[in-house]
Amino acid sequence: VKVSELGQFALIDRLAEMVEATRNEKMPSWQNLIVGIGDDCAAWRCDGALQLAHVDCQVEGVHFRPEYGSWRELGWKALAVITSDVAAKGGSPRYALISLTIPGSMEVENITDLYKGMIDLAKEEGIAIVGGHISRATLFTVTITITGAANGNILLRSAAKVGDKIAVTGTLGGATAYVEMIERKLKFNTACIIALKNTFLHPHPRVKEGQLLVAEGVEAGMDISDGVMSDMRHICRASKVGAMIRANTIPINPEVRACFDSKEALELALGGGEDYELLFTGNEEIINRVKAKSSIPVTIIGDIVAEHPGELIVVDANGKPVSLSRTGWDHFAPPAGSFLQEG
Amino acid sequence: VKVSELGQFALIDRLAEMVEATRNEKMPSWQNLIVGIGDDCAAWRCDGALQLAHVDCQVEGVHFRPEYGSWRELGWKALAVITSDVAAKGGSPRYALISLTIPGSMEVENITDLYKGMIDLAKEEGIAIVGGHISRATLFTVTITITGAANGNILLRSAAKVGDKIAVTGTLGGATAYVEMIERKLKFNTACIIALKNTFLHPHPRVKEGQLLVAEGVEAGMDISDGVMSDMRHICRASKVGAMIRANTIPINPEVRACFDSKEALELALGGGEDYELLFTGNEEIINRVKAKSSIPVTIIGDIVAEHPGELIVVDANGKPVSLSRTGWDHFAPPAGSFLQEG
pLDDT tens for each residue of B37-74: 888 889 998 877 889 999 999 898 888 888 889 999 99
Taking 70 as the pLDDT cut, the residues of chain A under it are 326-343
Q: State which residue of chain A sits closest to B125, comparing Cα positions.
A: A27
**pTM of this prediction?**
0.89
| B91: pLDDT strictly greater than 80 | yes
Q: Which of B100, B97, B65 is nearest to B82 (CA)?
A: B97
Q: Which residue from B8, B23, B133 is facing A55, i.e. has the nearest CB?
A: B133
Does A134 contact B35 at a Cβ distance shorter than 8 Å?
no
The pLDDT of B91-120, averaged and rounded, is: 93
Q: State which residue of chain B sits closest to A112, comparing Cα positions.
A: B15
Does B108 contact A11 at a Cβ distance shorter than 8 Å?
yes
CB pairs under 8 A between A and B: 293
Q: What pLDDT is attached to residue B332?
A: 55
Q: What pLDDT is attached to residue A63?
A: 82
pLDDT tens for each residue of B222-241: 999 999 999 999 999 999 99
Q: Is the dihedral of CA A120, A121, A127, A133 positive or negative?
A: negative
Does A15 contact B111 at a Cβ distance shorter than 8 Å?
yes
Q: State which residue of chain B sits closest to A15, comparing Cα positions.
A: B112
| pLDDT confidence bin for B329, thresholds 50/70/90 | low
Whole-number Å distance between alpha carbons of A253 and A275: 10
Q: Are B258 and B328 in contact (CB under 8 A)?
A: no
Mean residue pLDDT across chain B = 91
Q: Which residue from A95, A99, A331 is facing B134, i.e. has the nearest CB?
A: A331
The pLDDT of B172-178, averaged and rounded, is: 96
Q: What pLDDT is attached to residue A205?
A: 97
pLDDT tens for each residue of A1-16: 898 888 888 888 889 9
Does B49 contact A53 at a Cβ distance shorter than 8 Å?
no
Q: Tell which B residues from 116 to 175 touch A, by Cβ distance under 8 Å.
A: 116, 119, 122-123, 126-139, 141, 143, 145, 147, 149
Whether B333 has its CB under 8 Å from any CB of chain A: the answer is no
Q: What pLDDT is attached to residue A319?
A: 92
Q: Which residue from B36, B47, B105 is facing A131, i.e. has the nearest CB?
A: B36
pLDDT tens for each residue of B261-291: 999 999 999 999 899 999 999 999 999 999 9
Q: State which residue of chain B sits closest to A150, comparing Cα positions.
A: B46
Share of chain B above pLDDT 90, in %: 75
Furthest-apart CA pair in chain A: how many Å?
61
Does B29 contact A332 at a Cβ distance shorter than 8 Å?
no
pLDDT tens for each residue of A124-181: 999 999 998 899 899 999 999 999 999 878 999 999 999 999 999 999 999 999 999 9
| pLDDT confidence bin for B327, thresholds 50/70/90 | low
Specify the amino acid at residue B75.
Answer: G
Strands A33-35 and A42-46: antiparallel
Share of chain B above pLDDT 70, in %: 95
Three-class SS state of A108:
helix
